[in-house]
Chains A and B, each alone.
Chain A
């Protein structure tokens, strides 16, 4: 059985998701670079040398979450590229989740007191929101849907063939 070729629209969707992942990774690196400045800012604000520890910990957490989020979306898109329908659903679910986080970031970004970091997370959130929304829409296009259906059908056909071959081998073994 010939493998279905990936439609261009699916590739565009995946490319947009990879873009979102790249933005999140960039954001994670930015968060790590911002830690010293936040640490100073909050230590001064709370008049406590340890006052910057919690924000630093939170930023490190943000960096880990953003990197993990990027890795997860890349994994989903790889599965999408092989036509796994479950991956498509996971990608959509994840997109909603990512869009919600980007929205929250846009709402609370005024708390980011370091100017360059505030701008960087705002731009990242807006761009990743567009990328994720665009990717989801493209993933829902009929051409993408056909690709996932064809892949599914092909996988089922292959499974049936494997089952028949296994049965035959078993019967031959018994007859001996």
Chain B
């Protein structure tokens, strides 16, 4: 229908223009608020955004100028950031021409540096560590890129819509202040219609209310919001309440290098010998003329893969870390809008409202698919499950959570499964963690979870709590000795494997007593209760198993303190499936499996295993989880302290469910995860939101040309027709011979 509209538009536009000339209405000229123009056509896409399964429309693709390449071209230790360069930068004095330039970036950096210096953090001095410097630069760059790119993307979307639907020809005024309103409208016809275009799925904060005010002022005015990405039902409900119409025009934006950036290759490389920490290269996304552009944070894409643009990946990558982060980012966006020449930054096309209604701390990788398309090559499709959090206005931390899920997926993929165990034991400081795992965030999460488990045990059995008191009261023996060593291990994950897809339906973890764990591992070891009757020790352990362990396991599977552990464990299940699949066929990451090199996914949070071990020892010695139950027995005190163990994700038991059970219990999950690759979508009765993404070898903008039908090639007709022609010629020859024989000539 869009195409039909598009085809009709010029004709209709011409007729409308003719009509306007006949009735003498100066809509195409300078409009006046008092004029009463003829009704103009309102070209709208057919979808409202409320459709659960939109028909298979090919999204409209448009390009926008992006400065994303600064991220790889100017690392924190680049010579471009030498103070002499930064100090020379000047405020952008030609706003529109200066957007995205190196000067404007350096000037924003200069302001930040001076601001931080006032607080005593001198980037150019020795007061800051390399890690802090890097973090400071990365944060500013994030915000700067977001500010410029969101404005450019918004402006590109407006241009694309106006061009596609020929708004100018139809008599619309584009990107100007609506008379007497005081604010800029993307496209309007006075007294009839005002179009507000959003490249994303959300309007700006307060913008719908401003339009509602305009509608009260001009009762004949229709206000229509056009979304380039599917809006959620909360947004649409809010628009309904304000009597604002809406349409969804499926489209996606493709980055291209900003023309105001310095030419590719002209920027410096990281500065000589001063580099002391690795710069996370992370996943590599769409290629630009200058080389690789990092993929949006949280994309399940490694080197050699290109991420397809989607509302889901944008929503995750652009989610602020914290309220402070959001405030700083909004400030940057406002500054950039002013730099771009907008008197009122709210009129700028970029920076829509932030996604809300979800709890990103629950984000887990729950769907992965090994894809192949001849036009784009091998790739991966994935979806993250996030719990809904009604009433949450802005969801924070999506970027970090997804990044951890994605990084750990690759960590699990490249390192051997035998190394996926950590162990905090005061007697075994040399067996904390595998060296390579110890440099990753996945390793950090496992070790932190181990430490957290010990703290949780300490809280649960604390004699001052009702549970702890009753627990100690039930123990037998003079020493009340028992083993409290436990390990977090996976319970069978409930999964659905369907060809090249894996749905992770449940990923529970189990806390095992060490006696069970070692029995499983085929090792036996004394528990240190040799002085106590064995029957008493066994009884005490049974009491612990029945009263404490279920509470601990519940915490591991539900408490926010273990959210990161559950996140990396879900990625571990997905990675294990992918590892096994890569053994039987060529996948996008066949080359990475068991390569042993996790250097492309270094820890994004600075940490060291020895640091965690030191914290463990400190907590142990200071009694944070070292529970001592002192009982006077004659003239001595009995002290029991046995809290250690680890996390072991080396084995991933799985429970496969059948297609019938999957269809019965999760009837919409299949379509949900696929739709999530384009935009966030609700699932399981709105209790969950799914965010997905897709990557492939080739960018969607430049697919491989596929072999077409040979019917259009003369070679085919020449070769295939030759035997038939030969046969017909032979027939003609035989007829002629026959005639010759009959007539004798």
Contacts and interface: CB of A to CB of B under 8 A. Distances in A.
B711 A116 contact: yes
Given A33-B716, A34-B710, A116-B709, A47 B727 contact: no
B378 interface: yes
A136 to B, nearest CB: 18
Interface stretch (B156-164, B365-373, B605-613): B365-373
Contacts of B374: 40, 43-44
A47 B370 contact: yes
Interface residues of A, number: 28
8 contacts: A11-B734, A21-B727, A37-B707, A40-B374, A43-B374, A48-B500, A48-B586, A116-B711
B724 A40 contact: no
Interface residues of B, number: 30
Nearest to B501: A47
Contact of A43 (B372, B723, B727): B372
Contacts of A23: 723-724
Contacts of A22: 723-724, 726-727
B668 interface: no
Interface string B499-518: 11000000000000000000
Interface in B357-381: 369-374, 377-378
A40 B708 CA distance: 10
Interface stretch (A24-32, A139-147, A168-176): A24-32
A33 B723 contact: no
Task: Identify the 9 closest CB pairs spanning chains A and B, nearest first.
Answer: A36-B707, A22-B723, A22-B727, A25-B723, A33-B710, A40-B374, A47-B500, A47-B372, A29-B720
Nearest to B373: A44
B585 interface: yes
B723 A11 contact: no
B706 interface: yes
B730 interface: yes
Contact of B372 (A21, A36, A44, A116): A44
A51 interface: yes
B731 interface: yes
Given A49-B372, A50-B585, A26 B724 contact: yes
B721 interface: yes
Interface of B: 369-374, 377-378, 499-500, 585-586, 706-711, 716, 719-721, 723-724, 726-727, 730-731, 734, 738
A30 B500 contact: no
B723 A26 contact: yes
B719 to A, nearest CB: 5
A8 interface: yes
A150 to B, nearest CB: 17
A13 to B, nearest CB: 12
Chain B CB within 10 Å, residue with most, of A15, A22, A40, A43: A22
Nearest to A67: B723
Given A22-B727, A30-B716, 6 more contacts: A15-B730, A33-B710, A33-B720, A37-B708, A47-B499, A50-B585
Contacts of A36: 707
Contact of A11 (B711, B716, B721, B738): B738
A49 B720 CA distance: 29
Nearest to B737: A11
A19 B720 contact: no
Contact of B377 (A30, A49, A50): A49
Interface string A46-67: 1111110000000000000000
Contacts of A43: 372, 374
A67 to B, nearest CB: 10
Nearest to A52: B374
A50 B738 contact: no
A15 B730 CA distance: 8
Contacts of B730: 15, 18
A65 to B, nearest CB: 16
Nearest to A42: B374
Contact of B707 (A15, A30, A40): A40
Contacts of B500: 47-48
Interface in A80-124: 114, 116
A11 B733 CA distance: 12
Contacts of B721: 26
Nearest to A51: B372
B723 A8 contact: no
Contacts of B711: 116
B493 to A, nearest CB: 23
B734 A15 contact: yes
A29 B724 contact: no
A21 B726 CA distance: 11
A166 B372 CA distance: 75
Contacts of A37: 707-709
B718 to A, nearest CB: 10
Nearest to A115: B709
A15 B711 CA distance: 28
A21 B373 CA distance: 38
A70 B706 CA distance: 32
B727 A19 contact: yes
Contact of B738 (A8, A18, A19, A47): A8
Contacts of A15: 730-731, 734
A72 B724 CA distance: 17
B378 to A, nearest CB: 6
A28 to B, nearest CB: 9
Contacts of A48: 372, 500, 585-586
A22 B586 CA distance: 40
Nearest to A40: B374
Contacts of A70: 723
B246 to A, nearest CB: 36
A135 B90 CA distance: 92
A126 to B, nearest CB: 15
A26 B726 CA distance: 11
Contact of A29 (B370, B372, B706, B719): B719
A18 B716 contact: no
B707 A18 contact: no
A15 B720 CA distance: 19
A54 to B, nearest CB: 13
Contacts of B371: 47
Contacts of A40: 374, 706-707
B610 to A, nearest CB: 44
Contacts of B738: 8, 11
Contacts of B707: 36-37, 40
Contacts of B710: 33-34, 116
B727 A49 contact: no
A168 to B, nearest CB: 38
Nearest to A27: B720
B720 A30 contact: yes
